[in-house]
Structure 1
Amino acid sequence: MESSHQLKVQSHILRLLGDQLIGHDRLAVFELVKNSYDADASKVSVTLDLHATTPSITILDNGTGMSFDTLINAWLEIGTDSKRSKNGKKRSLEFNRKPLGEKGVGRLAVQKLGKILKLVTKQKDGYEYEFTIDWDILISSSKYLDNNMQIKIIKNEVAKHFKSSHGTFIEITSLHNTDWTRRDIRDLYRLVKSLSNPFSTNDSFNVELNIPGREDDISDLPDVEDMLGNALWKFIFRIDKHGNFRYAYIFNPPRFKNLKPTFKRFTEKLPLTPEDKDDLANKATDRRNKNIFLTPDELNGIGPITGRIYAFLQSSEVLKMMGNSQQLKNWLLAQSGVRVYRDQIRVFNYGEPGDDWLRLNTRRINTPGGKFGTNSIVSYINLSLEQSSNLQEKTNREGFDENESYKMLRRITLSVFERFENRHSSDRTSIDMAIKGEGVTPPFEQAIEKIKKTASKHKLQAEIGPALTSIKNELDRYREVMTASGVAAMNINLAFHEMVHGVDRIVYQLEKNVNPEAIQKTVTHLRSLLATFKPLLKKEKTKSLPAEELTKRVLAMHEHRFPRHEIVLSNRTSDSGEGINFNVKGPINLIIGALSNIVDNAIYWSRYRKERDGGELDAAILIISTWDAELKEGIIAVIDNGPGFQLPEEAIGKPFATTKTGGMGLGLYYARLVMESIQGKLLICPASDLREDLNFSDNYDGSAVVLQFKD
């Protein structure tokens, strides 16, 4: 036996939705102002009157207003789709806006603010209508959401509020919170002013905040334009729907020690940062991004992106030059971060204090060289509401659902930041040099010698000498540990990526019913890969290994990458391969790690140039060895056909110096430390410098990185 029963919804769900849907009072105001935007308002006035006999919050706009039909079939119908048409969201008539509201529940935000709502509305050539809702009385009037819940609408044939105008007026009384602190007031002011994009000219939508009796709470807040004028760097960019990346880089230093301003424009492809490890591991093979540069496909559902970055240095020396340093620091505390706008309207809560949706602060800690945290930048990106359809706002209005499109937006935006930071590095160095003077801190060994000479001059060698020796020995031990652990960590990262791709391949083979022998071969490769990486994690004593065998071990770590990225590899590290084999002596695991990182760089940059230029020439890498019997020196050179080193010569091989998107700038640094630890050298030069001596093709016209070994 079965029977049917009606699903009932109790009326107190309205109170739950109003209270739980919106995070706090400021967001409730935000939702009401968004309704004014949807109504084609050009001006919105928000008034928080806490000193009146009846404290209130009011929102007045000059929008189109609502007809009687709109009131009863849209505003008073919770969850309506009135802002949608069969083909998507309806556009407004005057400003051609796409509505920001879409779920039909934002109006319940008024309950977050107070118990009683009064609404008055009038269209240009229509009557004025008004009604009042006491939420307690309305909800208690019926146990369930049904026809017993009635709201009386008054028709004013002679307008009382909009006598010579049109729009909508909302008044909320019986406020839940009448004890707004100075900080609450300032936060509301900052939010209201950020609803429309303060960084760009937009005459069609302006929001003002009035706080009778509390004007002093915001009177000292600085003007946004004045504060942004203090930024040392500005980066203005646009990514169109085809993935073309255009930007202007502006350096605006204080007048100090011949620092020169810079203004440059660029049009190029955008190199993408590597995918997040968790995202990489959880993604299906066919959805992994295997390209270096942004492609149009990756913008599907996101659309074009525009934005600006204003970057500041908060060092005491720079702030003194700018003047009013404390005001700037206080302003940055409230304004810094990366905001998101759609059709110039704020998407909350990106860019709020404490929000770090791009994880800039974590990245700065992990790779501190020339990176900006959220506290030193004021930035925004702007999206097209129509073309960013895959970015869905959460029901609680606190950001986007974290789907694949959101993750790609985050990756693209972070890639823009990396490009800006790469561009600014040389100017950052010039500021540091100007502040610290030309006498940059000398190397440790030079400092030790200087102390020794001073001690000798004052006849203090006996007292100071043993301490200096102890300090130097301790530093050498730290350097040894750091080098070993650093090389291991970078190769673990490579191992992770290769293991992920290996597992992908097994899954693919199983899905395609590939023969068992092929699957077994892939499994064997994974096991050999683990065996190859395992020695890198151990502390190893000095050993001897032929250069040919050393290179084979390194290439085994990258074996599947060459065909996957369509890279032509030439290995000339044996007598039969036109090179000259010789024995390499030292901690073999560290030397393998160093060479592996150099090969990894060559793979990236050879791919980079091929994708950037769209040329027919294959990405190519040559590894060659030779031995000089007279000097008793051998070399292993890794030569590519990438774009060549783009760093200043003095920065190459220094820690955290890199132009590789997503790179740490440590690979060459560790390689140099490894080679110095065995009395060898790391040499870096254009490929052309070695062509005559090593006799290789003109097609290898990128960079050459050389490991030089002593007998």
Structure 2
Amino acid sequence: MFRITARTVLELGSELISSDIIAFYELIKNGFDARTKNGVTIAFDVVISRHALSKHLEKIARGGDLESHKADLIAALDPKSSLTSRNAFSSAIMTATSHSDLTSKAAVALAAFNSITVSDTGKGMSIEDLTGSFLVIGTPSRKLEVEAALAAGMKESPYLGEKGIGRLSAMRLGEKLRVVTAQEIDKTLNLLDIDWRAFGDINAMLDQIPVAPSKGGAKPAPQWSGTSIIISDLTENWTEARVRQMAEYDFARLTDPFDDAALRPRVAITFNGERLSIPFMPRALLDAAHASVSGKYEIVEGRPTLTCTLEALDLGFDHPREKEIITLTLEDLQGAIIGKDGEIEDSALVTIGPFSFEAHWYNRRRLSKIEGIGEQRAVRELQEKWSGILLFRDRFRVFPYGEDEDDWLELDRRALRRSGYTLNKTQFVGRVNISRTANKKLVDQTNREGLRVTPEQNVLLQVLRYVVQDQLGRFMREVERQYKNQKIDLSDAQAQVTKLEDRAKTAIRKLKRLTPPEGSEAVEDLEQALFEFSEFAAKARARIAEVEQESRQMIEMAGVGLMVEVVAHELARASENALKALDALKGSDVPEKLRGHFNTLRAEMKSVSKRVRVLDPLSISGRQRTEIFDLNELIKESVDAHEAQFARHRVDVKMDLPERPLKVRAVKGMVVQILENLISNSIYWLDIRATREPSFRPEIAISLESGPPTIVFEDNGRGVAADNQEKIFKAFFSLRDTKRRRGLGLFIAREAAEHHGGKLYLDDTINAETGRLHRFVLELPTGVQA
């Protein structure tokens, strides 16, 4: 049988309660768990601060008149502190008979009469409760009730806490604890006194430390119930400035600040009798955000759905208020959150339970005066104060998420590598809401430093990172691409400018004939202005053409980069397999086996060689060169180049191609790129389905039709939800996992199709089996057929 030393309690307290605010948080939760009728009050009664007393003790140590030192000390007591504490402090030091005695008695008085009281008007505790629950560390009573509530399907947990260690929070704040409590039926108060220093005896066992409750005096009123936790011999230097700062920041974020102020759990703080305000977040601050994302993760009939709303309100250039709604179902979430590697079980997508979130983004340089808040500086300070994406369970904070030093969504780390909009944590004000009953698998670590690492915790992180890092960032860039530095169609504009120039020249010629000599200078000025305008228009046209060319080259280079990556992957994989083969043959004399392995390696290298040949048209020169080629043969070559990959993933490719060549005049590299991106997407989603359905047989079907030349590409993978039919073609929109999430493939493929005057789209035919879209159509204009 285990025995526990007394000092283990001290070790538990120091390890499990890691900061003052967490200590207060635990004590506050206990008050609400006791069903307090009007909230929880934290009252600081500080006769003199530890720092101020130390200054006086330094003077006393230097000698001088003893009575003068006593008088100075009494004069230094805070007149706003309780009269009882001041009188007791004064009486204690007035009995001192020497300088050393005064020093000793002042230190004892500081420990005895500076206090923090956490009180509630809940159901209180009886003598039996103090003995059987409060003095039992890790008591199971609340946990049993929480588990019963979960089993019964209750929407709310009966308790915020359940581990039975919250009482150790008092140890963090002071060396001495007095509990004053009573239930309605009690006639008197029930008392419990604990001196934590007694547990420091390294030789004492826990059961050797005498701690027992006792009866106290009369209750404040016959029907009164509640509990006061009185902490003295304080371990920290408490001042009004420090407590006010904690109220402004820590206590303000202790309960959900997004809630209506009238609905938030009531927590009151007083310092020496003066009420300190705990600020609420003004709605005007959220209304001033420049972009935002909000949404819900729901479980409906055992299937998860993520719905989020993205809004661009003011990105620093002229644009309408843009809004986009994204919906991801089970199939999408398996691809985007779980991925191909299967590091998280699919079941975690359901067992995580429902939650909601919102995050408001600010360009801090563009924050300006807000009515009701103040000038720009005040607005920036307020935004910085509330910055961070906080996590709340049942309206109470889960630490340390959202703290200044915490980057739980890896926003800062990603921002350092991202061009364009910087989505770092100080630019967000946001919250995530979970609950004990709905999110049973999201459990606090015992030391209150975040959630325990579980598959469900991983899903929560991945979903939020996907929404905030990827989708909001992608959406903001999409709005910028659409409205800032928009492409200009110069065909009509150039004709109009030419007409205007001709009209102006004709008018100037007439003016020259009609203008008297004294007005010729003005006409010459007008003619010079026309010349400068014409020159400016020509330069503008040239620059716009350059910008468009740069944009095309960016797309081309991105496409080539993606293809080089694919080929590099194949080369690396073939090399690794070759090394494995050679390692397996060490010390063996098996020519037939050796021949077989080298045949495998030769086949793989042959496949890579085909991929490199297919890559050749994707070079910049190849992509810009129009040529006549057989579309039929190009499809065969592209499929042939993936032969080893298809075999490895057991993909059956069916081609329905015309017997006669179908000649087209086009940029061969761009058509190759479209096919490569479609194949790459298919392989990913076929794998996603194959790993989850053992009997599944992956298939790709490619057909080619003429008049106009049309390639139909279809697979039997997971398909695309109808809601995302157009979104998948947007730049940086991706439903792949984090390792493979780029979101450029289909965007580039559509750009390539449109370059030829054609179109690439996802056909709206619903697959009967999946209820989703599977068929991509590349339609080239009739004019490209040679």
- Which one of 156, 161, 167 corresponds to residue 216 of structure 2? 156
Shift of 1:149: 0.1
Say whether the 8 Å CA contact 1:31–1:109 is kept in structure 2: yes
In 2 relative to 1, CA 527–400 (structure 1 residues): closer, same or farther, beyond 3 Å? farther
1:595: which partner in 2? 675
2:445: which partner in 1? 394
Say whether the 8 Å CA contact 1:236–1:249 is kept in structure 2: yes
In 2 relative to 1, CA 442–213 (structure 1 residues): closer, same or farther, beyond 3 Å? farther
TM-score by length of 2: 0.62
Residue 58, structure 1, aligned to residue 117, structure 2 = yes
In 2 relative to 1, CA 401–262 (structure 1 residues): closer, same or farther, beyond 3 Å? closer
- Percent identical residues: 20
Shift of 1:16: 2.1
How many Å separate the matches in 2 of 1:475 and 1:214?
A: 68
2:361: which partner in 1? 312
1:559: which partner in 2? 646
C-alpha offsets along residues 299-345 of structure 1, whole Å, 9 cap, x if unaligned?
55433x23241423426557468884443433332323333333333
How many Å separate the matches in 1 of 2:271 and 2:45?
A: 6
Shift of 1:639: 6.0
Say whether the 8 Å CA contact 1:271–1:415 is kept in structure 2: no
2:426: which partner in 1? 375
C-alpha offsets along residues 159-202 of structure 1, whole Å, 9 cap, x if unaligned?
2x676521111122222221569677434544333333333469
| AA of the residue aligned to 2:355 | T
CA RMSD of aligned residues (A): 6.2
Residue 227, structure 1, aligned to residue 285, structure 2 = yes
Say whether the 8 Å CA contact 1:61–1:167 is kept in structure 2: yes
In 2 relative to 1, CA 392–622 (structure 1 residues): closer, same or farther, beyond 3 Å? same
Say whether the 8 Å CA contact 1:341–1:380 is kept in structure 2: yes
2:777: which partner in 1? 704
| AA of the residue aligned to 1:147 | D
1:696: which partner in 2? none
- Which one of 391, 396, 403 corresponds to residue 454 of structure 2? 403
With 32-41 and 82-91 compared, the bigger mean Cα shift is at 82-91
How many Å separate the matches in 2 of 1:83 and 1:315?
A: 45
Shift of 1:416: 5.5
Instruction: Report SS of the residue matched to 1:84.
Output: helix
With 655-664 and 257-266 compared, the bigger mean Cα shift is at 257-266
1:571: which partner in 2? 655
| AA of the residue aligned to 1:559 | F
With 342-351 and 529-538 compared, the bigger mean Cα shift is at 529-538
2:92: which partner in 1? none
- Which one of 376, 379, 382 corresponds to residue 331 of structure 1? 382
Listed as ranges, the matches of 1:354-369 within 5 Å are 354-362=405-413
1:448: which partner in 2? none
In 2 relative to 1, CA 243–153 (structure 1 residues): closer, same or farther, beyond 3 Å? same
Shift of 1:383: 2.8
Instruction: Report SS of the residue matched to 2:643.
Output: helix
Listed as ranges, the matches of 1:221-620 within 5 Å are 223-231=281-289, 233=292, 235-237=294-296, 239-240=298-299, 242-243=302-303, 245=305, 249=309, 253=313, 259=320, 271-272=332-333, 274=335, 281=341, 283=343, 288-289=345-346, 297-303=347-353, 305-314=354-363, 316=365, 319=368, 324=374, 325-362=376-413, 373-414=424-465, 421=472, 429=479, 433=483, 440=486, 479=554, 482-483=557-558, 486-488=561-563, 491=566, 546-553=633-640, 555-556=642-643, 559=646, 570-572=654-656, 575-576=658-659, 580=662, 595-601=675-681
Say whether the 8 Å CA contact 2:712–2:776 is kept in structure 1: no
In 2 relative to 1, CA 282–300 (structure 1 residues): closer, same or farther, beyond 3 Å? closer
Instruction: Report SS of the residue matched to 2:402.
Output: coil
1:102: which partner in 2? 162
Say whether the 8 Å CA contact 1:230–1:312 is kept in structure 2: no
How many Å separate the matches in 2 of 1:528 and 1:377?
A: 51
Say whether the 8 Å CA contact 1:237–1:246 is kept in structure 2: yes
Q: Which runs of 5+ in 2 are unaligned?
A: 47-77, 87-112, 491-500, 502-528, 578-592, 690-696, 766-771
In 2 relative to 1, CA 686–101 (structure 1 residues): closer, same or farther, beyond 3 Å? closer
Q: Which runs of 5+ in 1 are unaligned?
A: 1-5, 290-296, 445-452, 503-515, 610-617, 690-698
| AA of the residue aligned to 2:407 | D
In 2 relative to 1, CA 415–164 (structure 1 residues): closer, same or farther, beyond 3 Å? same
How many Å separate the matches in 1 of 2:358 and 2:265?
A: 23
Shift of 1:608: 11
2:34: which partner in 1? 39
How many Å separate the matches in 1 of 2:326 and 2:435?
A: 24
How many Å separate the matches in 2 of 1:65 and 1:170?
A: 11
With 14-23 and 353-362 compared, the bigger mean Cα shift is at 353-362
Listed as ranges, the matches of 1:72-221 within 5 Å are 72-85=131-144, 88=147, 97-126=157-186, 127-136=188-197, 138-140=198-200, 143-159=203-219, 165-178=224-237, 185-200=244-259, 206-212=265-271
How many Å separate the matches in 1 of 2:280 and 2:386?
A: 11
How many Å separate the matches in 2 of 1:20 and 1:310?
A: 32
Say whether the 8 Å CA contact 1:579–1:626 is kept in structure 2: no
How many Å separate the matches in 2 of 1:99 and 1:493?
A: 56
Aligned residues: 641
| AA of the residue aligned to 2:655 | N
- Which one of 623, 646, 671 corresponds to residue 702 of structure 2? 623
Shift of 1:72: 1.4
Say whether the 8 Å CA contact 2:474–2:731 is kept in structure 1: no
Shift of 1:580: 3.3
1:3: which partner in 2? none
How many Å separate the matches in 2 of 1:627 and 1:114?
A: 85
C-alpha offsets along residues 505-556 of structure 1, whole Å, 9 cap, x if unaligned?
xxxxxxxxxxx9xx99999998888777788999979789941443214543
Say whether the 8 Å CA contact 1:422–1:659 is kept in structure 2: no
Say whether the 8 Å CA contact 2:388–2:404 is kept in structure 1: yes
Shift of 1:648: 11
TM-score by length of 1: 0.68
Say whether the 8 Å CA contact 2:611–2:642 is kept in structure 1: no
2:518: which partner in 1? none
C-alpha offsets along residues 428-472 of structure 1, whole Å, 9 cap, x if unaligned?
839984xx6xx647699xxxxxxxx99x959999xx99x99xx99
How many Å separate the matches in 2 of 1:537 and 1:48?
A: 73
Instruction: Report SS of the residue matched to 1:271.
Output: helix
Say whether the 8 Å CA contact 1:606–1:619 is kept in structure 2: yes
